Amino acid sequence: MLRTAMIIVGCLVASSVMAHRPFFPDVPPTSPETASVVLRPEVSQVIYHEVAAGAEQVWLTFEAEAGQEIFLQVGVPVIDRLESYRPTMAIVGPGLTETEAPFELPPGCGIQAFGTDEIVEPRFFAEKFTGTDSWILREETVTVPEAGTYYLVAYAPGDAPGKLWLSIGKEEKFGFSDLGRMRGWTRKVRKFHEVEGTWPQLQKVAVGGMAVLLVGLVYLLADIFD
């Protein structure tokens, strides 16, 4: 009963949070060797990256089965100077036949790239929880040809400096342990989007967290004195 009640409350809280679970790795994932590991590529996750000298690409890596569908997205923050910024995203791994890339590919890997140069009117997306806005430039679903280790990478043609985000997966999923991270995540996301100040939606997470604790305490006491 206690577990069920907490799951219900947790779902209510999670329904108001950000769509993507963010990555904020300690080591910049700027190469295949330092790629951030995605344990469940079906879960919606995003990484934010500033393209600069020495950080021309951002890399994610994951294990996939043959025939598995991988959903990927690339976009940029709504910032005036990035209005015409058009990064490329690509999937890298075994069984992909293209080999031309502006960087060295891992051994045994090919690449399938998705450019955004032709995008004139990107899709506007308002992220309600963090109070940030983005332009979604492109989204694709790729069927993995072979089982093995794959990479998702984003970069800007000519290594032009700027900002981009790269996401994988569609399934929105958050755990109770994520509640304590929401405030820090939101601050980092807002800083990346160059949005100042705090955001009222954080209060919903705080209230939701208190609700989880309260429900848990009530059922715990009921079990003790039953």
165-195 pLDDT, tens digit per residue, is 999 999 875 555 555 567 777 899 999 999 9
Question: What pLDDT is attached to residue 28?
Answer: 94
Q: Torsion angle, CA of 74/36/179/166, rounded to 10 degrees?
A: 0
Range from 3-7, 54-58, 172-176, 211-215 carrying the lowest mean pLDDT:
3-7
How would you class 136 by CB atoms within 10 Å of its CB: exposed for 0-12, middle for 13-18, buried for 19 or more?
middle
45-97 pLDDT, tens digit per residue, is 999 999 999 999 999 999 999 999 999 999 999 999 999 999 999 999 999 99
- Is residue 210 pLDDT above 60, yes or no? no
- Per DSSP, 118 falls in state T
Q: Per-residue pLDDT averaged across 194-221, rounded?
A: 57
Tokens of 154: 């984003």
96-127 pLDDT, tens digit per residue, is 999 899 999 999 999 999 999 999 999 999 98
What residues does 171 pair with on adjacent strands? Answer: 43
Cα 59–60–64 angle (5° rounding)? 140
Q: Torsion angle, CA of 61/64/66/67, rounded to 10 degrees?
A: -90
